[in-house]
Amino acid sequence: MSSINRIFGLSGSGLDVDQIVADLMKVQRMKQDKIKQNKQIAEWQKSDYRDLNNSLRTLRDSVFQMKLQGTYLAKKATSSNEGIVKVTVANSAVAGSNTIRVTQLASNARLDSASTVAFDSSKTTLADQLGLAAGTVTFTVNGSESITIDTSQDNIDTLVSKINGAKTADGSSAGVGAVFDKTLQRMFISSTATGSAAQVKFENITDPCGLFASLNLGTPTGTPPTLESNGANAIIVYNGMTLEEASNRFTIAGVTYTLTGTSDTETVNITLSNDTDGIYENIKSFVDLYNTTIDKLNTKLFEERDTDYLPLTDDEREELSEKQQEKWEEIAKTGLLRNDSILSGVVRSMRYSLSSVVSGVNVDYNCLADIGITTELYYEKGKLKINDEELKKAIDTNPQAVMDLFTRTSDVIGEKGLAVRLYDNLTGGIEQIIDKAGAEDSYSLVDNSVLGKKITSYSKLIAEWDDRLENIEARYYKQYAALETALSQLSQQSASLSSLLGAD
């Protein structure tokens, strides 16, 4: 701001120039305040649009799941004895039943101490801990690279660590796990895999110190020296057929079986059926989210707008308490999207997507009403209502037809499934709102949406008005300074004239 001498009233004019200028500037700032209010309204509108768009995206994610056939092909499996067999089922499995009898569980290969080891936990080297001669022991395990143990330097923990860390030449694990239980004083070594192909095989053994014998793991035999054990396959009788599996967890025809026990006499019954409850819950969750979303949109569309409540100016804000300000802004923010054309279009497209018939599907299941889903009364503005009994009956009677009603794909709009239509319409609405108000997840630093450009324009005008107001205020003070000067000169002239007249 220009430097102006603001000492007034020395001439006796009695004018409160600061107050006069302040009053004049209030009138001028009203023009800028209007721009600030418009900018604030645009920012509130942008926030409302983006909030609604987040809701539409959440709904679209749900609709995407409703487009997928797997949502309606869900199966469930039950076992008559989970103490022997547990089951899970993929959507690809065929409904029906199977029988399974488990005669043997799959096991890993094991090489454990046959008896208690003479172990001294107070010592720090293998030689002292196991009473061995000092020396070097070498071996490989399951085809690993050579492992070297120095009994005068390494201890039992080092031995265990080197076995567990054994790698083959290509860097892959040797597939062996070892542990020495110092309480039981026994070594336990097992393969990480199960089945008849699993093994724990120590080869290329050079053991002058008798390390393996001291651990009661046995005596290496053969050439080259070898110490090993064989895993076992699971043996089951599946629908009358005897089968072997390398693992206690395996999949047959889309059903995953987990063996948990054996029984030579009990046959476990496995029942596979359509998961009608799961399909129902998926549809119900979608309808609930749809209703929540359309209710949120309608709230904004029919919200009353009180034009007496505009965004507060700085002067108005100073006159109100914090609570009063909050209450004012709460009212000022309402109704900003009332009768908005974009939102109205989104709601119409949502309602149309779900209210029309799907051509090309089972004629008994070609609209929502056929599966027990109807539109609420008019005042609910498009919300849906589920008749639980009718929906569950439709799913149980003809899950294929229910699936087709939602998922059918076609280049013809009238032949598209309901979820396919709704997904496309939601995508279009979301894009319209992004054009209008931008997106929160945009990586661009510039908001090129309609409201984004408008807000930028308002910000530029506000900045221009800051400079303009500064100049106007300076001009006012300059004018009143000139007035004070003129009044001062007039006063001096009046005094001189009075002096002259008094001299006569």
pTM of the model: 0.71
Cβ-Cβ contacts under 8 Å for 391 (sequence gap 6 or more): 280, 283, 284, 371, 372, 373
Question: Is pLDDT of 4 > 50?
Answer: no
Based on the domain organization, do 363 and 256 belong to the same domain? Answer: no
Confidence at residue 403, expressed as pLDDT on a 0 to 100 scale = 95
Based on the domain organization, do 219 and 139 belong to the same domain? Answer: yes
421: tokens are: 């239509």
Question: Is pLDDT of 300 > 80?
Answer: yes
**Cα angle 117-123-124, degrees, rounded to a multiple of 5:** 110
Based on the domain organization, do 325 and 382 belong to the same domain? Answer: yes
47-56, 458-467, 488-497: least confident range: 488-497
**Residue that the structure tokens 């998926």 belong to:** 282
Question: Is pLDDT of 11 > 60?
Answer: no
Confidence at residue 379, expressed as pLDDT on a 0 to 100 scale = 65
Q: Last residue of a domain, which of 230, 259, 287? A: 230
Based on the domain organization, do 137 and 250 belong to the same domain? Answer: no
Does residue 75 sit in helix, strand or coil?
strand
Share of the chain above pLDDT 90, in %: 72
Can you tell me the distance from the alpha carbon of 387 to that of 371, in angstroms, rounded to the nearest whole number? 8
Based on the domain organization, do 305 and 438 belong to the same domain? Answer: yes
Residue 373 near residue 284 (C-beta atoms within 8 A):
no
User: Which of the four pLDDT bands, split at 50, 70 and 90, describes residue 30?
Assistant: confident
Q: Does 500 fall in a domain?
A: no
Helices H / strands E in the chain, number of each:
12, 17
Can you tell me the distance from the alpha carbon of 362 to that of 405, in angstroms, rounded to the nearest whole number? 8
Based on the domain organization, do 290 and 432 belong to the same domain? Answer: yes
Q: Does 94 fall in a domain?
A: yes
Kindly state the average pLDDT of the residues 330-354: 95
Nearest alpha-carbon partner for 433 in 59, 58, 53, 57:
53
Based on the domain organization, do 326 and 349 belong to the same domain? Answer: yes
Question: Is pLDDT of 194 > 60?
Answer: yes
Kindly state the average pLDDT of the residues 466-486: 77
Based on the domain organization, do 143 and 206 belong to the same domain? Answer: yes
194-203, 217-226, 230-239: least confident range: 217-226
Q: What is the extent of the structural domain holding 169?
A: 108-230
Based on the domain organization, do 31 and 162 belong to the same domain? Answer: no
Q: Does 494 fall in a domain?
A: no
Task: List strand residue ranges (DSSP E) for 261-391, in order.
Answer: 268-274, 373-375, 384-386
Q: Does 5 fall in a domain?
A: no
Q: Does 503 fall in a domain?
A: no
- Counted residue by residue, the chain has a size of 504
Confidence at residue 240, expressed as pLDDT on a 0 to 100 scale = 94
Q: Does 64 fall in a domain?
A: yes
Q: Work out how many domains the chain is built from and give that number.
A: 3
User: Which of the four pLDDT bands, split at 50, 70 and 90, describes residue 274?
Assistant: confident
User: Which of the four pLDDT bands, split at 50, 70 and 90, describes residue 125?
Assistant: very high
Burial class (CB in 10 A: 0-12, 13-18, 19+), 171: exposed
Can you tell me the distance from the alpha carbon of 317 to that of 387, in angstroms, rounded to the nearest whole number? 52
Pairing of strands 147-150, 255-259: unpaired
Identify which has the larger pLDDT, 492 or 11. Answer: 492
Based on the domain organization, do 93 and 186 belong to the same domain? Answer: no
Reported as type and span, the H/E element at residue 158 is helix 156-164
Question: Is pLDDT of 295 > 90?
Answer: yes
Based on the domain organization, do 95 and 113 belong to the same domain? Answer: no
For residue 224, is the peptide bond before it cis, meaning its omega torsion is within 30 degrees of 0? Answer: yes
Q: Does 474 fall in a domain?
A: no
Q: Does 479 fall in a domain?
A: no
Residue 429 near residue 345 (C-beta atoms within 8 A):
yes
Based on the domain organization, do 190 and 246 belong to the same domain? Answer: no
